[in-house]
Chains A and B, each alone.
Chain A
C-alpha cells in the first residue's frame, strides 16, 4: 500500500509549450527508497514539488495516506540540494526546528536532537554555527532536520548534487544506514546514474519533453550494502556496471529522440 501516491499527474507551467510532467503515476510505500533518475529538465523537481505540496497539479491527483495533498505538511519533510538551513540557529537549533514548530517540549526535543545528530555523525557539532560547516556537514544537518521532525516520508531534491565525489559517496552510505533505521519512505531525485542504482529499492527513469516515466526498475544493491557488502565491491560488480551502462544508453536514446 502506497503512503504517498500520484495518479495521472500532469503539470503544465503557464506559458510553456510542453507540460513539465505528463500522465505520471507513482507510489511510495513506507519501507521504500524510491529514486527518480533523469537528465535535468525532465521534471524531477516539479514532481518532488508536487509531492511536497509546493505546486498544485494541473491534472491528476496527489494523495498522502489516502487523503488529497493540498499544501506542504510536516508529514512530508523536504531535503534540498542547498540545505535551506536557518543561519540564525545553531546546528542543534536547526535540527530541533521541526519539533519546535510542532510544540514538542524542550527536554524531549533535546533527546531527539542528540540521537539524530549521532545518527548522521555530527554528535559533537550541535553548537556549531551553520556557516562554519562544510557542504557535506550541512547536508547532514539538512537530513537530520528532516529525520528529527518525525515526518513520515523524506523528499530529497538532488541532496548530494553539490558535493564532491568522495563526500557524495559517504553521504550515500549514510543515507542508506539512516533510512534503514528510520523505516521511513524516501523519495530521492538525482541525475547521477550510479547514485540512483546504488540507493534505490525502486527506480523510475524519467525523460523530458514532456516529462514522463519511461522505465521502472527494482535494483537490489542497497540491500547488499546494508547486508554488509562494501560500496566499492558493489559499484564494481559486473551486474552493477551492466545496469549502469543500460541506463546510460537508455538516457542517451531518449535525449536523441527529444532532439530529433
Chain B
C-alpha cells in the first residue's frame, strides 16, 4: 500500500554509492506510465501487423473513432456518458447502502462479540458465492427493476466493509480504550472518540476493497433487463460482435474504478494520516 512508503526510513546512503547499473532511477508514476505505454504499443503493433483480425482486436485508431461516435451518437439509445452515469449511480447507491448498513453493523458486532457468532455464518455463506449464482434468486424475489441491480452490487460491497469494520473495532488498542476510560469516558464517548476513529483506517480499506468487488459485480447486475449502463453496453455489443465497444466499455470501467480508488486513497491519507505509522 502507498502508506508503506512513509513508514520505511528513507535510505540515507550518499547518492554516489547507490548502484543504478547505468539506468537513471524512475519515479513510481514514470514506471506506471511506461507499463501502460508498452501495453498500448503492443496493442497497436498486434493490430497494425495484421496478425490479429480486427474482429478480435480492433486497432487503437478504430477504437478512438468509435469513442467519438459513442460520445456523440451513442449506442443502444444512450451515449457513453449516459451509460457511465447509469452505472455510477448504481455503484454509488449500493456503496452508500453498504457503508450505511455495514459500518454500524460492523461496530455492533465489534462491540458485542456474541452478535458475531450469529452473523458470521450468514456472511461467510454468501461471501464466496459468485454473484451470477444467486442472481436468479434475486430476480425472482425482487423483480427486474433497479432494486435487484443495486442489491446485487450492494451485497458484493457489504461483506468487505462489514468484515473490515468488525476487524477495525476489535483491533483498537485496549491501552487506548483503558486510557480513555481512566480519563472519565462514558461508553458512548469511548465509541465516538476512541473506537470509531481507531477503526477508521480499516473501514476505509474495507470500502476500497468493497468498491473493487462492486465493480466486478456490475456486469452481472446489468444482465438484469437493463437499458443503460456500461455492463449492459458491453454485453449488448458482445452479442453483435462489436469488439470496439466492448474494449471501450472495459477501458471506461477501469478508468472510473481507478479514479475512485485514487480518490479513496487520497481520502484515507487525509482522514487517517497516522495509518501505518509506528505507534
Interface residues of A (CB under 8 A from B): 52-54, 71-74, 76-78, 80, 82-88, 97-98, 101-102, 129-131, 142, 145-146, 149, 151, 155
Contacts and interface: CB of A to CB of B under 8 A. Distances in A.
A101 B184 contact: yes
B181 interface: yes
23 contacts: A73-B182, A73-B184, A74-B182, A74-B184, A78-B178, A80-B175, A84-B175, A86-B176, A86-B197, A88-B197, A88-B200, A88-B272, A98-B184, A101-B180, A101-B183, A101-B193, A129-B273, A129-B274, A130-B279, A131-B278, A149-B183, A149-B184, A155-B182
A74 B194 CA distance: 16
A78 B182 CA distance: 6
Contacts of A72: 178, 181-182
Given A86-B194, A87-B277, A101-B189, A52 B272 contact: no
Contacts of A98: 183-184
B269 interface: no
A76 B277 CA distance: 30
A78 B179 contact: yes
A38 to B, nearest CB: 21
A131 B279 contact: yes
Given A53-B182, A74-B183, A101-B185, 18 more contacts: A52-B182, A77-B182, A77-B183, A80-B175, A86-B193, A86-B197, A87-B274, A88-B274, A101-B183, A101-B184, A101-B189, A102-B184, A129-B273, A131-B277, A145-B183, A146-B183, A149-B184, A151-B183
Interface residues on B, range: 20 to 34
| 9 closest cross-chain pairs (CB), A and B | A74-B184, A87-B274, A98-B183, A84-B179, A72-B181, A84-B175, A78-B182, A131-B277, A88-B197
A52 B182 CA distance: 7
A53 B189 CA distance: 18
Interface in B262-279: 272-274, 277-279
Contacts of A80: 175, 178-179
B175 A97 contact: no
Contacts of B186: 101
Contacts of A155: 182
A88 B204 CA distance: 15
Contact of B176 (A52, A54, A73, A84): A84
Q: Which of B173, B178, B181, B183 has the most CB of A within 10 A?
A: B183
Nearest to B196: A88
Nearest to A78: B182
A155 B186 CA distance: 19
Q: Which of B178, B186, B193 has the most CB of A within 10 A?
A: B178
Interface in B172-222: 173, 175-176, 178-186, 189, 193-194, 197, 200
A145 B178 CA distance: 13
A45 to B, nearest CB: 11
Contacts of A83: 179
A131 B183 CA distance: 21
Contacts of B272: 88
Nearest to B197: A88
Contacts of A88: 197, 200, 272, 274
Interface in B97-145: none
A54 B181 CA distance: 9
Contacts of B183: 74, 77, 97-98, 101, 145-146, 149, 151
Contacts of A97: 180, 183, 193
A6 B262 CA distance: 56
A54 B184 contact: no
B279 A54 contact: no
A41 B179 CA distance: 22
A82 B175 contact: yes
Contacts of B273: 129
Contacts of A73: 182, 184
Contacts of A76: 182
Contacts of B185: 101
B3 to A, nearest CB: 12
B203 to A, nearest CB: 13
Q: Which of B182, B200, B272, B279 has the most CB of A within 10 A?
A: B182
A77 B179 CA distance: 8
Contacts of A102: 184
A53 B274 CA distance: 30
Contacts of A145: 179, 183
Q: Which of A78, A151, A155 has the most CB of B within 10 A?
A: A78
